Structures are given as structure tokens and as C-alpha cells.
Structure 1
Amino acid sequence: MDMTSLPWARWLFNFAFFYPIVMACFWMTGGLYYYLRRERKRPLHDAPPPMADTPFVSILVPCFNEEAHIAETIQALSAQEYPDFEIIAINDGSDDRTPELLDALVAEHPRLRVVHMSRNQGKANALRMGTLAARSDYLVCVDSDATADPHAVRWMVGHLVSGPRVGAVTGNPRIRNRTTLMGRMQIGEYSAIIGLIKRAQRTYGRLFTVSGVICAFRRTALHEVGFWSDRMVTEDIDISWRLQLAGWDIRYEPNAMCWILMPETIRGLWSQRLRWACGGVEVLLDHGRNVLAWKKRRLWGVLAEYMLSLTWAYIMLAIIVLWLVGQFVQLPPAWHVESILPRWHGVMLATVCMLQFATSLMIERRYEEKMGRHFYWVIWYPIAFWMLGMLTAVVALPRTLLHRPRRAAWVSPDRGVTA
């Protein structure tokens, strides 16, 4: 059969072009709807409404080799504008000065308790140990290199006490290191991509994942699903799916802000995004079939979104390979890729991308007044991060299929060149 007679070849090329446009419009529509309905008339993040009841809260801080940041993290948590809470730092077998610093911080912060693990067993296990030591049914989890906003705990606990089926709440991470181009591009990513997607997902049903850097859980919900799994490289994605499959609701609270350090080197960013991509594939393999049940239909949108993104990554790889092969071999017209440089379709994609960034930055001005100054830097995002996302997705699928670790231990991540 003549390859030029196969219409699906052009369908693949059209999918690669239209998928980012359709999803951007979908996220903008869902994000704006969420903002107009649930955010616009709410109090500002630094003036949360009073709570009828303020239950005791346990804040869990899993740590591994965090001597450079742990004191600042504990200081920020101790300053939370919430009346009754404890802080439990879990030292997961650190081999730097983290254990000594934590023991010294106990004298400075009376709410702090420290749990020392003899060896590194991974974040999931550290969180389980912290849960066993906790005295509250309401657990707030914060990464040990993050600086939480003074009202973050109040905003998240407010959701947990508002309904008995609220199993988890995810907060709003903000990029802290902004001195390099890579750091500034991630500011736009967290607002224009991650923040907007979470708003859209909350509009049509379920969330793909909580932000592991700052989130809150109901202990009862965690107990029902068996707590965090130490077999998954991204315990936050896995626990999100298992909670929602069990019927628990997960909410997004943009007022629960937390300042985080992100990778600013190509190697560090690749390692982080590959881990995220592998975590998504693991969840798909473990829970994808369960999502297909009619009772789980509110998760269908999240599943379809992830499957389409994975498909897009492989189609984009195929287009690039076809272009390279076409430089040396005469391909049938249906498979011929004349150029991968942006032309009219590239201009359209860039326009929609900029519209998405503008929409999200307009929303995010509520949380940072000078967000508009970062608009220039995010124009480079599609070139760098779309390619990175495509490559990590392509690598993650075979890597996860061929190798699943028995236990996901920690390694010290890239905190940025200016951390």
C-alpha cells in the first residue's frame, strides 16, 4: 500500500499541532471559571476568614540532608498564624549536620519534636513515621527546604474541617530562586501551567496530584488507603489517586502559599522531571484500570489528559525522527516533514501560549502583585520545557516498565545555583 494513501499519517501531525492549543483553551476556560466562582470574592491570603473551630494540627517535616535550609523551614512553621499545632521533623538517616541542627532547634521552638531514623528509607516511610508520632487527625506536610506563608496551615485546615469527605488539600508552591533564566521560566510554569491546570481539574472533577511540597491530609483518609507507598518514586501522585479512587475529595487552595527552591541546572531539572514522569507512569500502570469503572468516572478527565499528553510526547518524537531521517532518505509525501522550525503554526502556538500565560498571571496577581514583570521570561518556556517534558515522558515509559525499585529512597536534589 502506498504510504501517501494513509490519512492517519496526517492525523498524527494534526494532533501534535492541535493538542497544545485545545488543552491551553481548556485550561484557560476551567481556570477562569474556577477563579470567578471560587477565588475572586474570597479574602486575600493574608486575611483568612475566622474558623468556628480550630482543631489541633500536626505539621510533618520529612528531612534528608537539609542542613542548609532546615532552620529557616522550622522558623517559618513556628510562626504560623494558627492557635494550636505541633511540628514533627523526621530525620530520615541524614549523613550531614541535619540531626544536630534539629536537636538544637528543639530548645528554640517548643512546638518542635524530632524523630530520628537510623537510615534513609525514603520520604514515604518518613511521612508514615511522622504520622505515627502525630497527635492530630489533621496532618500538614511541608518539605524541609520550603518556607511556608504564615497563614498556609490555616487555609488548608479550613478545608479539612469543612466537610467529612475532604481527604486532602494541596497548596500553592511559589518559586523562590529567581536569579537565572531557568528559575524565572519556572515562575511562569508554576502559575501558567501547574496552577491553571489544578484550577481546571477542580472544575471538571479530580486532581492529578497534590503538591508534595505543601499539602494537608485527614489521617482517617490516609488510614483507609494504607498511607504512603514506599514503592512509588512520587508518593504524592500515588496517594492522590488512591484517595480519590476511594471516594475522598482533594481540594486546591491557592492561598496556602509556600516558597520553594527549584533546580536551575539542566542536569538537576532533568533528574527532577524524569522522576515526575516516572511517577506518572507508575500510577497509570497501578491504577489506570481501576479508573475505568463507572463509579470512578470523575477521574476519567485526569486519566484522558495524562494519556493524551503521553501520546503527544511520542508523536512529537516521531515527527523529529522523521525530519532527521528525511534529511538522508526520500520519504513518502505523507510522512515527509519539511521543517521543525516554527512557521505559521508555530506563531499560532506561541500566541495561544502567551494568552495562557497572560490569563494565569492575571489570576496570580492576587497572590503576587508584580507577576507581570515575569511575562517576558515565560516566552522562552515552550522552547525549553516542552522539549524537556516530551523527552522525559518518552524515557519514563520504558524505564518504568523495565525497572521498578522495591523502595524509593531519597537523593539530595538540585536546589538551584543561588540557593
Structure 2
Amino acid sequence: MNFDYSPKVQAYRERLLAFFDQHIYPNERRFHEEVEANRRAGNAWVPTRLIEELKPLAREAGLWNLFLPQSARAPEGLSNLEYAPLCEIMGRVTWAAEVFNCSAPDTGNMETLERYGTEAQKDRWLEPLLRGEMRSAFLMTEPEVASSDATNIQCRIERQGDEYVINGTKWWSSGAGDPRCALYIVMGKTDPEAGRHEQQSMVLVPADTPGVTVKRHLPVFGYDDAPHGHMEIELKDVRVPVSSILLGEGRGFEIAQGRLGPGRIHHCMRSIGAAERALELMCQRAIARVAFGKTLAQQTVTQERIAEARCLIEQARLLTLKAAYMMDTVGNKVAKAEIAMIKIVAPNMALKVIDWAIQVYGGMGVSDDTPLAMTWAHQRTLRFADGPDEVHRNALAKLELARHMKLSSEKVEMPVTRGA
């Protein structure tokens, strides 16, 4: 495995870093001020002018749709390994990925449409998503069941003639707060009597379909994540054409597994970027702040944490790159252990590093005067998003045990013989 940046990736990195220096970092405060102004005006969900101004600049710089590999509709897309260092940079600022049309859940939804959608579905939904003209949401999690086990899902998708009728309640539907959110990808049960993993299906639901009600937004540690938002949505007798189904009835669980692989590793790439930014801020603060006659950088406890943070970040980055390499070369299914590992490792690593940075900042660290508090809240949420730590640990343990059971069954006892 060779993780050196190719000349193409290095050129992308240089352009992206320059874009951040020129357009992202100088506008961090403006973004939050604009959202707050919208909130005071009565609607925090209005898209920010800032991001809409930056999107054309990102496209002109050739930094658009980099996440989607092997797509004729997005030829600029990179492999997972090529995209990793770029996605990491985007993760340094919580809202930056949207500027490059590389933000969740749209990226996962676009990959789902690219992999599993019909040409008509791609024409209607994928094309405007790739152009950044609309947003989308993924509706899987439900309030009444443990959705970490997707077979628990209760939302019903019942066929009636040439239509599917959908009934159920979803929540933590990220991105559904944005008024540009025009598409929901909904997972529900079409056949409760089928096999455990063949009961579920996915359908495409226009957000303005009668019977769709956004009931409330769900704050994360007090942050509403406007204008993105995480919503609870009721689907009551929602009707869509049969042509809205993805891949076919009973294929929902299969699609979910295919969708979550890239989505999980993208989150991990951004987590590494968030941790790098936290370590950078931590060092700057430690050098500048004096306590008990010495700078914080001269305190051994700070030095130990800085050193440990560097080790943790490098370890997580290498594991992420290995997972990306395997996804590119042997496929997501074979790479499932590596994907599970990095989904466990990256958010926990980022949380530790961000927590140490907050500690160096003191009271300022838990305020909104730095990006650390919001970044910590986002990373803590990632320990649930795309599967909680416990589920990934269980899956990883089963894979490890199965490997050893196979090795044990292949062992052949050597015959015991007596010498002449």
C-alpha cells in the first residue's frame, strides 16, 4: 500500500488549502453571524448567502463533487484514497464541505442514486444534486425502535396498484431543515413476512408530497445546526409512484449497507481534519497563554497531551487511508472490517483531542468564541451516526472470531510416530 500523494492529489490539496486560507477561515465568524441574524429574523433555516457566494468560486477552482468516484455524471470525482486528504481538509471547519458540494447527507444520497438508481431517477434527482441546486435527506432512524438494528424499522411501504403508500415516523433526518431539501430517501418495510434482511425497501419521496410533515427540529447539545438541521418527520398516507422504488422490493438493507460504507469513511476523514484543527488551536493557545510563571506549552501535562494527540491523529489517518485503499481495490464488502475499525477509532480520537484543546482554552473553550465546542458536539454525535460504536465493535469482533474459527478448523493434527 502506497499512501503518497499523487501529483494530481497534491495539486488538489494545494488548491484546497489556498481556498481555505482565502475564503473559509476568514469567513468562519461571518457564517455564524449570518445564521444568528436569520434566527433573530424568525427563520434560521434560510440558506446562508456566504455559502452560495463561495460555491461558484469552488467550481471555478475545480473543487466540486470530488467525493463521487467512477461516475460519468461527475467525471471530476476521485477514488476514496485520493479523496481522503481533501475530505480531511474540508473537516477542519464544520460547514465547509457544502461549499464544495461534498457534504452529508447529500454525498451518501448521491452515491446511492448513482449506484442503485434508474436513469430516470438519476435525471430527476442526481443531476440537480450534483449541480448543487437542491438538498436531500436520508430517512431511516425511527424514535420508537432501536434503529442501530435496521431490521427493527416499523415504517410501512405498502403497494396499492401503481403506487406505494408510506406510513411511519422518522427522526434525526439530517439536512431536512434546509428549505432546499427536495428529496427524501425513505427506508421502510414492504414485506414483514420476508426474511429478516429482505423485508426492507427504499423509495424516493419528494419532500413536498402530501402527507409529509416536518414535526420538529432536534438540537444537538443545544446546537440546532441551522440551516442544515436534524428533523423529526411524519409520513402519513404518503403516496409515490411504483417507479420511485430503488433497485426493487426487499433490497433496502442491501442498499443501506452499500450507502453507509462511503458515508462512514467520509465522516472519519472529516474527523481527522477536525482533530488536526483542534491540535493546531491547542498549540497556538499553549504557546501564548501563561499560568504559574510559565506558558502552558512549557507545562509537562500540556506537552504530553500534544504528543499523544499527534500519535492518535497519525494512527487514525493511516487506518483511514488503509480502509480507503481497500474500498478502492477489493470493494466495500471485503473492507468491512477496516470500515468498522475506523468508524470506531476516528470519532473517539477526535473527541479526545478536541477535549484536550478545550481544556487548554479554559472557559473560552466551551464558548462559541472558538469552534471547539461545536466541533466537539458534532464529533460526539458521530459515535451514533451511521451506526453506534457498540454495533461496529460487535461486528468487528464477530469477523475476528470467525477468522480464528476458520483457522482452527483448518488445523490438522500431526500424527504421533515412534522412532525406529
When normalised by structure 2's length, the TM-score is 0.28
| Larger Rg, first or second structure (1 or 2) | 2
TM-score, normalised with respect to structure 1 = 0.28
Higher RCO, 1 vs 2 (CA within 8 Å, ≥6 residues apart)? 1
